Amino acid sequence: MNTKSTVSFASKVGAILAVAGSAVGLGNVWRFPTEAGEHGGAAFILIYVLFMLLLGVPVMVTEFVIGRHGHKDVTHSFLSMSGGRRGWKWMGLLPVVAGFLVLSYYSVVAGWTLYYAFEAGLNGFAGKDAATYAADFVSFSSHPLWPSVWMAVTVSLTCGVVALGVRRGIERGAKIMMPLLFLLILVLVGCSLSLPGAERGLRFLLQPDFSRVTGSTVLSAMGQAFFSLSVGICCLCTYACYFRRDVDLMKDGLKVASIDTLVALLSGLIIFPAVYSVPGLQPDAGPSLVFITLPNVFQQVFSGVPLLAYVFSLLFYLLLVMAALTSSISMLEMAVAYFHEEWRVSRPLSAIGVSLVCLLLGTACSLSFGVWADVKVLGLNFFDLFDFLVAKLLMPIGSLLMCVFVGWVVDEQVVRQEITNQGTLRSPLYRLWLFLVRYVAPLCILLIFANELGLFRVLFATVH
């Protein structure tokens, strides 16, 4: 049971693309522009990049250290790195629980993106006004059947990739989907920057206005840097189990963070110029930006050239589908790796079994927007409950425990050996990284935890 797996990514490029695909998701294309729009654009972005370096990268490398050391599944990795302290083995159950929960509600939104790509392909956005887009989204998302059907398609695609294995499925899929994702982004950026009014969007995105920076801006930028990389739920730790021994964890961690940030910034270059090209629209429309505002924007800004409206809409939603799939693959792999490695269930059977459970849970999440909207647990519908458990509990608590584990529990010599690849690499940033993991990252995570639970709002309301 404790023998190390011989499975690994075939190449360094494949490993980086797979991990970057896990980090790059709908949050980069959806949440990042929304957060930047709500908090002043460029000033928010600068603070976000700072916290990516102070928080995101250190925690990500912490996951890499744990996963690569065990080189099997996360449960074994924690047990091995703790020196046999069985109390830490339960941390290996975190990716199993998180995998089921996060894929269940994430696949609902992924299904929406696939449906919108299908609609765009059929030119279904043509000739509609803003009110119709809003009504169409509400009608679709609340339907008792079709959102679940599209969700099932996305889960099936994800299952197919994971069932093929680490090299033939996950790595090969990343090598195809990540370059395609970047190609779609670059084409869309070029189109968006050619629009009238694009300079206003560029100014908003690239010209800092520090007068708009508040405590809320800092907390939101900190949270975006944290959630953008999907740290804390062992997605990255699971992929790191397949790293070869010659992977430079620190260097590749910075590469993944750079790719993740670049996708987020390029998404802003797509969305802000397009939104500012339509009078009266603002870039802080929230989640409705993607499914209500942008279809309207694409039709209006290309109203004189219907073919461009069609192409732009189709490419944008295909981009969302690619981003959703690259992340959902890592979510499914978390639970599949556990059952495959610890319980010796074949990979295809593990993938199918986990997918079926996620489909059942995801159906409950999907119905939360319609016929089960009034079904509540702790005052939350199923979709919001799963989101709460993952984003507000599992991610911050998991990240905090991993920082404590690597920073304070594990023998520092073991940690240093992993970072330096058994002494074969120079690592001038090692001491800085260890300081961030021990002190700075835990403090930031606690602030994010408190903010996500609404404790600061309660405090400020009490003071005022």
Neighbours of 428 (CB within 10 A): 7
pLDDT at 221 over 50: yes
Cα→Cα distances 392→18, 244, 398, 453, 461, Å: 25, 33, 11, 7, 21
Confidence of residue 464 (pLDDT cuts 50, 70, 90): low
324-346 burial, b for 16+ CB within 10 Å, e for fewer?
bbbbbbbbbbbbbbbbbbbeebe
Tens digits of per-residue pLDDT, 145-166? 999 999 999 999 999 999 999 9
Q: How far apart are CA 346 and CA 353, in angstroms?
A: 10
pLDDT at 2 over 50: no
pLDDT at 1 over 60: no
Confidence of residue 5 (pLDDT cuts 50, 70, 90): low
Mean pLDDT of 6-24: 92
Q: pTM here?
A: 0.93
Angle subtended by helix axes 395-404 and 441-452, to nearest 10: 160
Fold of the CATH domain 12-463: Amino acid/polyamine transporter I (1.20.1740)
pLDDT at 462 over 80: no
pLDDT at 288 over 80: no
What element of type H or E holds 458?
A: helix 455-463
Q: What's the pLDDT at 137?
A: 94
Q: What's the pLDDT at 346?
A: 96
Q: What's the pLDDT at 33?
A: 83
Return the domain boundaries, the chain.
12-463
Tens digits of per-residue pLDDT, 88-105? 878 878 888 999 999 999
